Amino acid sequence: MTTLRLPKTLMCALILALPALPALASAAADPVAQHLAQEEQRVGVDTFTAHDYKKGTLQHVVLIRFRDGVSAAQRQQIAQQYMALQKQSLRNGKPYIVSIQAGPQFSGEGFSHGLQQAFITTFSSEGDRNYFIGTPVVTDPHHYEPAHAAFKEVFKPVLADGGLLSFDFPVIQTAP
């Protein structure tokens, strides 16, 4: 089993943000969501979701907490369905997700805040991330990933209330 290690700066940002999870639930109140909506309006949805829009490695980190009663088998099925998105998600017939990593919470530091599962999806551009995410960032279904939109519908019933933290960042530093 490979251990998933997040950069310390990302972990600190996640830990500091966790007490505010209920306040972060509204995308409308999120300044990053507002900025992305304005950017999409400024450049247009075709450019905003283009494969070559703002090239560079981008990580999409999702941490989740399942509803009470979700079995280990259901959790495994959700993880497998998310992992399958790497091959199912195509643009012009070609995969565009660089990688997907997934794993259960395995830290003994005492800062998990009840979060149980992590997914890290790597993209080679902001345009690919924008296309993958879809709603609420991109609302035109011709400009977002149908496989991910379908996964969201399967995923919602097993997610605890307030049990999702999404954190995207461009990779600007990598330790040797």
The string of pLDDT tens digits covering residues 93-145 is 999 999 999 999 999 999 999 999 999 999 999 999 999 999 999 999 999 99
According to the CATH classification, is domain 54-176 in 3.30.70.100?
yes
Question: Tell me, what's the pLDDT at 49?
Answer: 97
Question: Tell me, what's the pLDDT at 17?
Answer: 43
Q: Measured between alpha carbons, how far apart are the two ends of the chain, in Å? A: 23
Question: pLDDT category, 8, cuts 50, 70, 90?
Answer: very low
Question: Tell me, what's the pLDDT at 169?
Answer: 96
Which among 88, 143, 97 has a CA at the least distance from the CA of 121? 97
Which among 112, 151, 111 has a CA at the least distance from the CA of 135? 151
25-39, 81-95, 141-155, range with the lowest pLDDT: 25-39
* Contact partners, residue 163, CB within 8 Å, separation at least 6: 64, 65, 66, 67, 114, 115
